[in-house]
Structure 1
């Protein structure tokens, strides 16, 4: 973790703001959920306190107003109305800017607070059904704080004040755990308290008093027989409390058991379970692992040509360790897509407000994992695709009802793993793509000739052409002719692919095929002519020999029969124009993406290879056949084949042959 305390606070503030946002969005659907209300209040309270502690006074002052509003919700004075939730969500964006230290308009902050006050006042006018008043009950509350509570900013006096607000109580301080004077550290808390409380409030109200410290303390709440109001505490108890906290007034105190040292140890163990590591350190470590894999590959090649058995044994051991280290590093970098999907709940909430549409977001496969770098680079493309679905795809409630659909439109995000890829789909149940409008716009822009024959997938792919838009009017969401081409370039930059399907009147689906990682993959090393290439191993289905007879028989057709299925194949020596005579015993490597298969004809299969992916230069950025390069054990370079591109090329070749036949 960074040694800068301010940067540490900012990281923790972002976590708190995400928790607050999640709680608010859940409250929009379950406004009476007490656990959610408490969670939002705790987040706001912690953010305010931490902000003040680290010198973020503007953040603390601003957050205080939101905390006060939710304190009224927590106490049942006002409901968590949609307007109040929306006001705090809007205020949360201002808090984020204040935490990040970016320019935050003071006038904007005042406007947000005015909106918040109006929402609270409006909610206060709503009649909230009060629970039936129970009879007074008497409770015995025993609690103690950890010895480091005072140093960590926890004060007993406010806790006792809150208990007094619940009813009449008698407080007794327990002093049996206080060490001798010479051993007493004034920063440590050794007092315990026992409170006899008579109140009409339920047990949950007592528990709420300790809502922010309950994980670190010991607490016992025992119901006693109903009792009459009790007397105020005596003077010695007040003196003892004053010794603990300089802010002591005439507040009651109480008794409790000895401090729970095991609880403190358990707390320390929990804290040590997770370590926050800066992302750049993970990237640096990944680079080192990549260099180690390259060095191991060189060692393996030297060992193969050596007659020294000990060298071979060491090379095999290092290969095993390097492979395990690579796999461990891959796991460390993997994060669930829930981290990505969770960001879009707020987006949908805002889109519904901006478009006047009723939109519901559902997610599936949130536990599917992707490399953290891939997750980061997917955020912007998914934002654009979701905004596009909300603006272009979904109809207004009136239009949906007229079409026999539910008034609320559905946008669904799903993720699933398929081999070495993750497939992310964005589906809506809107109006679908108007093919006639797409064709007309494409002809108008000169993208296709009038009357040109296109398959449905080719027609839909025109949407991803730069500057293409079918929006009748420009809105703040879409329609400016930018975005979809950028989405496609970003996905292809991740060595992925983007596909679209649509049913008129039923909706559209966009599928993103993304590799699990961008760093190291297992590959199959092959030779075509004098050059060597790497085929990503997860895409390889099988390898078969292509006999001379089969090669001659397939001339002009480029089709191979495998288990009663025709598989198109590509002769890589022709694609790469080696100008050499093929080897007499060529091999066909059958690769697949999804359900589509194609064979790649190579001269020789050299074996498996742990491939550290190196990006191609910007000069080669437009070469679609290759997705990168790797360094081999002998220092040579092998290009990595883009399987998705080659499969698509094989399908086009097959379609052309079928059309010609």
Structure 2
């Protein structure tokens, strides 16, 4: 049994909270007066502080405590959120991240960040000095008048499991001390005798008299995550109640009383004491069942591998059953096929992650690039609910960073140039995702100046990528920007100019069996579209035969199957097209593409596949049927073979190559054009 590391659990939860904090701060910059955003940001800080103290990250808890104290002025309306505050708060968030990642390392800069944060929230005015934490209420008499602070009596008992989960009562009392002058009295009337005392149960209660106008909201924040399961009473004290002694000495027999007897700890206060047995119990509201479970990614990968092996074994059983006359065996094979198919879909669903979890990371990138380059930018996202395999999500982060930086640095003009061109001063970068057949299309679009084809060509000739007389279409020319070392930047900056990045993007996307499309319009902008398969693990496939070889076509890319008309060669006249209900679709003879020897079948079939907006027909000898396909990656020795995206093991133990339909669709037109040129010559 694997026991998870509690500090690693904290780090994982802290990462999520820091992402939430960053998103809240960026939203707050756009809507500074939104109280919901301010409160959610404050709650994220409060949770990080409490969890940090619980798991021994003292430096984190102390830094966040001061951060929270400064930000509390914004929450109380004493200061206004502005761009300067957001920038320093983001720096503070980054500092918290470093403290969590490297807890043993001394990390400087925290004091400077907090000092700058305090200066901003105080607005240059004199700071309001916090009263001493342990000043008795009687030593701070209130001035008479309409705004005279009152004395409030707070009595609370923590839940029975509070100490077990790391709650520190002293830290809670320190937070209460920030509300106003107070006096604190421990209530020991519920402490049982030693023979029945449970050291993990908080038997001691606390009476706190606070001088403040109305501390209700601040007290709710202090006990934010304990309020539902604890005893807490807050009442204002009038002159008569103030004269009553704060606590009564507990009788000896009361101190030694069994834990199931309640004692009157505070005469004169309006509070109901629950039995200690209830205080120890973990009270959960009805129906509050866990809705999610954190599972290490390695276990999901292992589960996916096991499911893949099960699918292969099921295929072998189905093939054996098909050759047998045993009806019982056939029934079991069919049942196993149904169950393995359902298990495959469920496992793949577990691995699917909304791409919005990736998109959220780039808001900070856009914010920082806008400040660094002095370009006002409006960042727009769409399709955040589109799901991709978690492996794809993890490997897409760096390529998208490069593409977004490229759009901001190269694509968007400065505000002055945009105004001169009749555009709004603020540029737009749009990041979107949408399902497209068997793929997900992720687009990064900007409304900048577009690609300069002449400049790209000149740079390509200068670098020796093409010769002066090479004829290229616009899409082919645009693909040159992904060549290693290619850059049209006139000078090297911190962001660009060295030609490193776009070639890495291309290699990464190729490794994911994806493609990159570039569309641009001078003066209107550029769009980079990444087309990626939904998953890298298991797919439904159509098994076909070409000569003696068998190949798998991803079923989601298949539109339809038709028979190749007899005598089509006699009427083709060099035009390899089929008329599919009024639309001309180019077709490729896979026997010619793969160099298959031997005569073709008399009645060949055409499988129409699509990728994006393109379609191509693949001529095969036989369509064998559909099957579940476990994708096995090809070795590096086969990386130059672009027609195949992987391989799979069939039920009889043989190997079938998986066709890369996106590559075949893009290559189809070029293949047809070469064929036409050869025949014309």
Shorter chain as normaliser: what TM range?
Answer: 0.7 to 0.9
Q: Which residue of 2 aligns with 1:420?
A: 438
Q: Which residue of 1 aligns with 2:121?
A: 123
Q: Which residue of 1 aligns with 2:271?
A: 255
The 8 Å contact of residues 175 and 222 in structure 2, kept in 1 or not, is answered as yes
Q: Quick one: structure 1 residues 176 and 525, their matched pair in 2 at CA, closer, same or farther if it must change by over 3 Å?
A: farther
Q: Which residue of 2 aligns with 1:247?
A: none
The 8 Å contact of residues 552 and 657 in structure 2, kept in 1 or not, is answered as yes
Tell me how far 1:180 sits from its aligned partner. Answer: 9.8
Q: Quick one: structure 1 residues 595 and 182, their matched pair in 2 at CA, closer, same or farther if it must change by over 3 Å?
A: same
Q: Which residue of 1 aligns with 2:578?
A: 560
TM-score by length of 2: 0.85
Q: Which residue of 2 aligns with 1:647?
A: 665
Q: Quick one: structure 1 residues 388 and 195, their matched pair in 2 at CA, closer, same or farther if it must change by over 3 Å?
A: same
Separation in 1, partners of 2:62, 2:173:
25
Q: Which residue of 2 aligns with 1:236?
A: 247
1:111 maps onto 2:112 in alignment: no
TM-score by length of 1: 0.87
1:370 maps onto 2:388 in alignment: yes
Q: Which residue of 2 aligns with 1:272?
A: 290
Q: Which residue of 2 aligns with 1:188?
A: 201
Selected match of 1:532 from 550, 572, 578: 550
> How many corresponding residue pairs?
648
Cα deviation 1:356-388 (Å, max 9, x = unaligned)? 211221111111110000000100000000010
Selected match of 2:337 from 302, 319, 322: 319
SS of equivalent residue, structure 1 residue 381: helix
Separation in 2, partners of 1:69, 1:94:
16
Tell me how far 1:191 sits from its aligned partner. Answer: 8.0
Q: Quick one: structure 1 residues 396 and 298, their matched pair in 2 at CA, closer, same or farther if it must change by over 3 Å?
A: same
1:287 maps onto 2:305 in alignment: yes
Tell me how far 1:66 sits from its aligned partner. Answer: 2.6
SS of equivalent residue, structure 1 residue 548: coil
Tell me how far 1:410 sits from its aligned partner. Answer: 1.1
The 8 Å contact of residues 411 and 426 in structure 1, kept in 2 or not, is answered as yes
Cα deviation 1:460-508 (Å, max 9, x = unaligned)? 1111122111111111112211111211111111111110111111111
The 8 Å contact of residues 185 and 247 in structure 2, kept in 1 or not, is answered as no
Tell me how far 1:142 sits from its aligned partner. Answer: 8.4
Q: Quick one: structure 1 residues 555 and 232, their matched pair in 2 at CA, closer, same or farther if it must change by over 3 Å?
A: farther
Tell me how far 1:183 sits from its aligned partner. Answer: 5.9
Cα deviation 1:197-253 (Å, max 9, x = unaligned)? 99633854453343343354477889x9x977951663436869x999xxxxx9997
SS of equivalent residue, structure 1 residue 236: coil
Q: Which residue of 1 aligns with 2:141?
A: none
Q: Quick one: structure 1 residues 451 and 230, their matched pair in 2 at CA, closer, same or farther if it must change by over 3 Å?
A: farther
Q: Please say which of residues 317-326 and 33-42 is displaced more in the overlay.
A: 33-42
1:348 maps onto 2:366 in alignment: yes
Q: How does 1:9-88 map to 2 (within 5 A)?
A: 9-88=10-89
Tell me how far 1:308 sits from its aligned partner. Answer: 0.7
SS of equivalent residue, structure 2 residue 38: helix
Cα deviation 1:487-541 (Å, max 9, x = unaligned)? 1111111111110111111111111111110000000000000000000000000
Separation in 1, partners of 2:284, 2:16:
23
Q: Which residue of 2 aligns with 1:613?
A: 631
1:152 maps onto 2:165 in alignment: yes
Q: Please say which of residues 167-176 and 645-654 is displaced more in the overlay.
A: 167-176
SS of equivalent residue, structure 2 residue 597: coil
Tell me how far 1:118 sits from its aligned partner. Answer: 2.5
The 8 Å contact of residues 198 and 229 in structure 1, kept in 2 or not, is answered as no
The 8 Å contact of residues 160 and 282 in structure 2, kept in 1 or not, is answered as no
Separation in 1, partners of 2:269, 2:518:
68
The 8 Å contact of residues 142 and 254 in structure 1, kept in 2 or not, is answered as no
Q: Please say which of residues 322-331 and 162-171 is displaced more in the overlay.
A: 162-171
Q: Quick one: structure 1 residues 78 and 510, their matched pair in 2 at CA, closer, same or farther if it must change by over 3 Å?
A: same
The 8 Å contact of residues 216 and 263 in structure 1, kept in 2 or not, is answered as no
Root-mean-square deviation over aligned CA pairs: 3.8
Cα deviation 1:230-283 (Å, max 9, x = unaligned)? 51663436869x999xxxxx9997614748899945369647332111111110
Q: Which residue of 1 aligns with 2:398?
A: 380
The 8 Å contact of residues 159 and 280 in structure 2, kept in 1 or not, is answered as no
Q: Which residue of 2 aligns with 1:93?
A: 94
Separation in 2, partners of 1:281, 1:577:
42
Q: Quick one: structure 1 residues 655 and 551, their matched pair in 2 at CA, closer, same or farther if it must change by over 3 Å?
A: closer
Q: How does 1:333-482 map to 2 (within 5 A)?
A: 333-482=351-500
Separation in 1, partners of 2:318, 2:61:
59
Q: Which residue of 2 aligns with 1:4?
A: 5
Q: How does 1:498-647 map to 2 (within 5 A)?
A: 498-554=516-572, 556-647=574-665
Cα deviation 1:392-418 (Å, max 9, x = unaligned)? 011122222222222221111111112
Separation in 2, partners of 1:319, 1:121:
67
Cα deviation 1:430-479 (Å, max 9, x = unaligned)? 11111221121122222223254322212211111221111111111122
Unaligned runs of 5+ in 1: 245-249
Q: Quick one: structure 1 residues 422 and 153, their matched pair in 2 at CA, closer, same or farther if it must change by over 3 Å?
A: same
The 8 Å contact of residues 632 and 647 in structure 2, kept in 1 or not, is answered as yes
Separation in 1, partners of 2:217, 2:45:
20
Separation in 2, partners of 1:579, 1:635:
24
Separation in 1, partners of 2:55, 2:76:
29
Q: Please say which of residues 578-587 and 65-74 is displaced more in the overlay.
A: 65-74
Unaligned runs of 5+ in 2: 129-145, 260-265
Cα deviation 1:582-640 (Å, max 9, x = unaligned)? 10010000000122111000000000010000010110011000000000000100000
1:303 maps onto 2:325 in alignment: no
